Each structure stands twice: as structure tokens, then as C-alpha cells.
Amino acid sequence: MVQKAERVASPQTHAMEKRGAAKSGPRAGRPVGNITRGTTNPNRMRRLDRWLTGPQAWRLRGAADPLVVDLGYGASPATAVELFERLSVVRPDVRVVGIEIEPARVRLAKELERPGLSFQLGGFELPVSGRPVLVRAFNVLRQYEEADVAAIWQLVQGRLGPEGLFIDGTCDEIGRRVTWVALDAERPLSLSLSMRFGSFALPSEVAERLPKALIHRNVPGEKIQAFLQAMDQAWLEAAPLASFGNRQRWTAMCRALRDGGWPVQDGPSRWRLGELTVGWDAVAPGP
């Protein structure tokens, strides 16, 4: 296991500085961030990638510069290669840049470079030429403090191109339980949950894989707990549909949540995949 380096070297907030995150700000050319554990597995990000090539594909198709960043891809570049191959179907001239703060990981990944796919040393400052339309950071912020999240979000958001999207997500080791927050340049937009049917008894089991901004907020009085409880209740009430399969039951759960006033942003074509997206304001952490 790689030990953590010093905390985020960013002068973004006074609070971060008081905790020693950035006593003097980043040095010129120095990557912003910590060395993470780097654990990963092939096909781990498939559920998110399916969302990027589905309802979010319009962002890549319409981008003047189809630049995509896979931030903190880990000890193996496999998921960055998969991202490139999947997005190439949507936009053949896509440019995917894998960024890692650990030099040894970059040297290893460079053996897999090809036209449209490259790897380089860096961190949250995103040292790339151009403004990306998509930035994916999966299982990265999970290893930071909750108090650091807002400043990190702002740093990456400030680098996005027009209609750009930053995805901060977390998943289990083989991608059966996945969650992510989507942000544009101005604010968080949504929370998405995607789960493999048969891998859970109650939908709220995904709580252990919530993004850093929410994982400690699954407590009474917080919106995310209310939402997870509503999911469980709707799932249990849809139990009579279990004989028709989990897809039918999940779809009924999602429909019940939407009819109950939750701002569900997608429809049956996504629900059938074990996916659900809800507006951020409905689950955002309290002050």
C-alpha cells in the first residue's frame, strides 16, 4: 500500500491551510493532490462509462475540443484504456488523458499510449492543453477529508470547458455498487446510483460507496439518509413484482420515488440497468 503524501496543496480555502493542507501554496509545476492507494480492476468503471456514453454523450458529440481526463486512474491504466475505447465509439477523435500523481504509474501507463490516448504526471490542477469536456475522478476523493471536497471540486470545475462535466465517484472493487456526483462549472447537478441486480438485499446498502461529500452524512436529519430510506421503502413495497425479475421491481421503485416528489432525472431505459439519478438539491449535505 502506498502511504499518503501531504494533503492537498491548494490555497483555495483558509480552512484547508489551517489544517496544514497548503501552508505556502503549491510550488510551480508541482502536482496538486495526494498519492492514493491506487487499487483498481478492469471493467470496474463500466456503469459510469455506460452513463457517459448514454445520456451524457451529447456533451462529447457537441464539444469543439473532445478532451477527456481520467484523473487518478490508479496503479493500473486499464480503466483509462477502457474509457478511451468506449468514448471513441461516440466521438472517434476523442482525446483521453490519464493523469496520475505517482510517477511510476505514469511510466507504466505510457507503454499503452496510442493516438488519442496519453498519460502524464499531475493532479487536480489538470495540466493538460485545453479545457476538458469530461473529467472522471473515481475512488480518488474518497481518500481525502470531507472538509477538502469543496475546494477540490472548485479547482477542477474551474478547468472545465463549455458544457463540461466533472464526475466524482466511488465504487466497490469490481463495480457492482457505484455512485457518482456530476458537476458542471457552476455547481453539483445530480447524484447517480447504479447497482448490479442480485448484489443487494436493500438499495440502501450502496451507502458504503457514497462519494466523500455524502458518505458521512447518512445520519438522521440529512437528506441523503431520507432518500436512501425512501428507496428502501419503495423497494419493499414493490416486492410483489420480484417474481417478474429485479428489473421490474427496480423500475417500480424508481417510478414510486418520482411520483412521491423526488426529482428523479431519468426514465425507464436507465432504470432497467439498475441505475437512478436524482437532483443534487434533494440529497445535498446540510450546513
One digit per residue, pLDDT tens: the chain, 287 residues?
333 333 344 434 333 333 333 322 334 467 776 666 656 777 899 999 999 999 999 999 999 999 999 999 999 999 999 999 999 999 999 999 999 999 999 999 999 999 999 999 999 999 999 999 999 999 999 889 999 999 999 999 999 999 999 999 999 999 999 999 999 999 999 999 999 999 999 999 999 999 999 999 999 999 999 999 999 999 999 999 999 999 999 999 999 999 999 999 999 999 999 999 999 999 999 98
CA 187 to chain centre: 15
CB proximity list for 275: less than 8 A, separation 6 or greater: 47, 51, 192, 193, 194, 266
Predicted pLDDT at 47:
97
Q: Can you give the pLDDT at residue 29?
A: 66
Of the candidates 136, 143, 225, 217, the one whose C-alpha atom is nearest the C-alpha of residue 181 is: 136
How confident is the model at residue 12, as a pLDDT?
A: 41
The pLDDT, as a whole number, for residue 31 is 76
- What was the pLDDT predicted at 24? 28
Residue 280 main-chain phi, psi, to 5 deg: -60, -40
> Residue 181, exposed/middle/buried by CB under 10 A (0-12, 13-18, 19+)?
buried
Give this prediction's pTM.
0.88
pLDDT the model gives residue 266: 93
